[in-house]
């Protein structure tokens, strides 16, 4: 039974690594027109988790990325959306850590208003 759990953990880690690699590759493509989805925490009047952006990002989100640059890492190509969802919910993955860090930063900014 423990062999099965190890295999599942390895599979999850491999999936997260693949998501990160695809995200890095898509960021490297200048002018890529693939729609992106925001997979971060909801930001009032700026972005909602799961929103898909087809023709670029709206101005309020671009401004928020200027304040919190890590938000850009939570914009994933829709072709990677399912794998990103798994990675975000898997504790210890890069996307999970990024989500948690961004969430904490946004909460800190909200408190300081």
Higher pLDDT residue, 29 or 39? 39
* Integer-rounded Cα radius of gyration of the chain: 15
- Is the Cβ–Cβ distance between 107 and 43 less than 8 Å? no
What are the tokens at 86? 């798994």
Percent of the chain with pLDDT over 70: 72
Rounded to an integer, what distance in angstroms lies between the CA atom of residue 3 and that of residue 112? 48
For the chain, the structural domain boundaries read 2-111
Cα angle value 10/15/19 (rounded, 5°): 150
Tokens of 41: 């925490």
| Band (107; pLDDT cuts 50, 70, 90) | very high
- In the predicted structure, residue 28 carries a pLDDT above the cut 60: no
Asked if the model's pLDDT at residue 101 lies above 90, the reply is: yes
The two structure tokens encoding residue 60: 């309020």
Q: Work out the mean pLDDT of the chain and round it to a whole number.
A: 83
């Amino acid at each position: 039974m423990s062999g099965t759990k190890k295999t599942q953990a390895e599979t999850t880690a491999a999936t997260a690594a693949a998501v990160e690699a695809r995200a890095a590759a898509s960021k490297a493509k200048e002018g890529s027109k693939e729609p992106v989805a925001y997979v971060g925490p909801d930001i009032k009047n700026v972005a909602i988790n799961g929103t898909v952006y087809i023709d670029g990002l709206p101005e309020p989100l671009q401004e928020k990325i200027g304040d919190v640059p890590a938000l850009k890492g939570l914009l994933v190509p829709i072709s990677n959306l399912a794998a990103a969802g798994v990675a975000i919910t898997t504790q210890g993955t890069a996307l999970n850590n990024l989500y948690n860090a961004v969430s904490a930063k946004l909460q800190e900014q909200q408190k300081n208003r």
